[in-house]
Amino acid sequence: MEQPKVKNELPQDNSLNPLVNEYHVNDTWIMLLALRFINALVVRTFFQPDEYFQSLEPAWQMAFGPQSGAWITWEWHRQLRSSLHPALFAVVYYTADKAMIFLSFFPQFRAMILAVLPNLVQAYFAAVGDYYTWQLSERIYGTRSKASNAALWMTVFSPWQWFCSTRTFSNCLETTMTITALYFWPWKLSTFPVLGKSSDVSQQPPEEATHAKTPKSGVFQTSRSIKHLRISIVLAGTACILRPTNALIWFSILMPTLTGLLNKRAPISDYLILLREAILCGSIVLLTSLTSDYIYYGEWTFPPYQFLYFNISRNLAVFYGRNVWHYYLSQGLPLLLITYLPFTLVALYQASLLPSSNIRFVFTTTILLTLGSLSLIAHKEVRFIYPLLPLLHILTAPVISSFFQPSSSFTTTPCTTKDGKVITSSTTTLTTTTTTTKHKPLLYTLLTLNALIALYTTLSHQSGVLRTTTFLRHEYETLALDGRGRLLSDPSAHLNDAYPPKPTTYTPSETFAAFLLPCHSTPWRSQLIHPGLQAWALTCEPPLHLPSTAAHELAAYRDEADRFFDDPQRFLRDEVGGKERPWPRYVVGFQGIEHHLRTFYEGAMKGFTVRERWRTRNSHFHDDWRRRGDLVVWEFVEAAGAAGA
């Protein structure tokens, strides 16, 4: 593999007219925005329950009230989560719903819009993250350089970005906030050489775009530079509130800054300004967070402390999984990078050889420190290191660009006059730069593989759970609502309706569906939408009542979902049919429970039988045996009716 030289190079300006760069920036931003909107609409698969239960469910409750049917998990009752993230979607939900009511949209159409709206909002933030990844790479490698272009296209063709960036995880917003904050960070305080201009020149403070200044010249000489510092601190502070582990990244970024203070890289006044703004902006972020949490929880609380207490001090996170110490190295990075992984390993090695004042070296130490620190925690998930992905793309970009476009050929052509005379003056010759692409079969193979992985994970793998909630919502609308979305039990039903009244066996007091699935296997109210669609599902509350020292009791603890899959017949006999778990109209489960369901129900409920109402494929494979096979919706009918059918 051909590798670029490891040295402290200044980023180069492309010397094009600023208007050309401006048009290029605008076109690229529109392309990224359109791409992520399409991305959001294409994603039809399930990844992790936190996508819904740590953001959209509390957001739904904020927007529509406690009677809206949102499922609020134990983490919110224990105040582990900041309300800032769901508050964002709550505003979107509330505003969009009021606008659609004002425009007299039918409830069925409103439900369809509300089901996809949060992902479209997140698509905007994903595009912002892509944009500032590209812009920061331009400041490092040069405007429209091969390396910065490679960083852009790596982001576009990243399977992980396509799979995850438009989902409503707090990690996704954290990633965007982190890379944007890093773009606006005053790197002159901690790195040398000074970063150059990006294509978006309007974003650059004049003093940072000039290499002529000495390293000791002031950083904060204009109001714009102060504004950019404030943007960076506010975004970094908010990211740390949303995900306290984000502080690991900023610890790594601040260390070179403090070293710069000792080395007198900038005047002491710059560091005093940094301290002043950190206190001011940090206080604003903290006050905003405290106020939001007070409004949501009804009392003063600080969720980051609760988060660290429950997950580290009490170590309750292991209840949801324990991973080997090398998980992030052996599984996390390969999942994030896929085909980029070999190039990234080379890039990390090369960057580690650079001077400690180089931004690529700082990024490398940030990545390694974050990976090392998070590896000490027993519970690990690949999305926990998602904020590192833009940095990995930026570091890998020059290695990939040099491998596939290792050299440029220059052709100098003398200019000629109309009479055919050749002008040999250096000022009148034309120089054409030709970039050659090597290893084309490998390049096309990698891009094709990335595209196939992205499409499979967003269209196929675990797609059944989303189709199931959509089916139940439509089934409820068919059985319970008239043509204008009014409950059939409402006296005004069918009033001014163009269609004749339709018969229904649905009653508003009935439980519509029960989910006999591993807990949180499907979205909830953010996809079911209608508050009248009453349902229940198996839960998996951790043993909050047990002390962390009760190792034997913790190991023996079985949650509700565990009890069902340990002995389905016993669970159905002892725990279903009461006030908390009434028998529903429909039961949702993977095909493996059908035998137990039929055996119990058709034996215990004389005169009734279990009939398959709907079936869909969920995934071709799964590491959890409980989630294998098709996803099925069963209904209970009278035996005579079943025989007649």
Q: How confident is the model at residue 207, as a pLDDT? A: 46
What is the DSSP code (8-state) at residue 409?
Answer: E
**Rounded CA separation 158/620 (Å):** 23
pLDDT of residue 542: 85
Q: What is the pTM of this model?
A: 0.89
H-helix or E-strand spanning residue 587? strand 586-590
Q: What is the pLDDT of residue 364?
A: 97
DSSP string, 348-403: HHHHHTS-TTSHHHHHHHHHHHHHHHHTTSS---GGGGGGGHHHHHHHHHHHHHHH
Show contacts of 1-4: CB within 8 Å, 24+ apart. 1/346, 1/399, 1/403, 2/402, 2/403, 2/406, 3/346, 3/350, 3/399, 3/402, 3/403, 4/350, 4/398, 4/399, 4/402
Q: Show the tokens assigned to 518.
A: 């591993």
| Measured distance CA(47)–CA(532) in Å, rounded | 27
d(CA 227, CA 205): 10
Spatial separation of the C-alpha atoms in residues 360 and 366, rounded to whole Å: 10
- Take residue 394 and report the two structure tokens written for it: 């930026």
How far apart CA 175 and CA 285 sit, in angstroms, is 18
**Cα(323)–Cα(381) distance, rounded to whole angstroms?**
9
The residue ranges of the chain whose pLDDT is under 70 are 1-17, 193-194, 196-217, 314-317, 407-435, 491-502, 548-550, 605-607, 639-645
Spatial strand order in the sheet of 586-590: 535-537, 513-515, 586-590, 631-638, 608-616
If you search the block for the tokens 């329950």, which residue do you land on?
A: 49
What span, in angstroms and rounded, lies between the C-alpha atoms of 591 and 586? 14
Q: Which of 179, 187, 151 is nearest to 398 (CA)?
A: 151
Rg (CA), the chain: 29
Strands 429-435 and 408-416: antiparallel
CB–CB of 58/86 below 8 Å? Answer: yes
Q: Among candidates 524, 412, 371, 451, which has minimal Cα distance to 42?
A: 451
Structure-token pair, residue 222:
């204009």
Q: Which pLDDT score is estimated for 426?
A: 46
Looking at residue 416, its pLDDT comes to 56
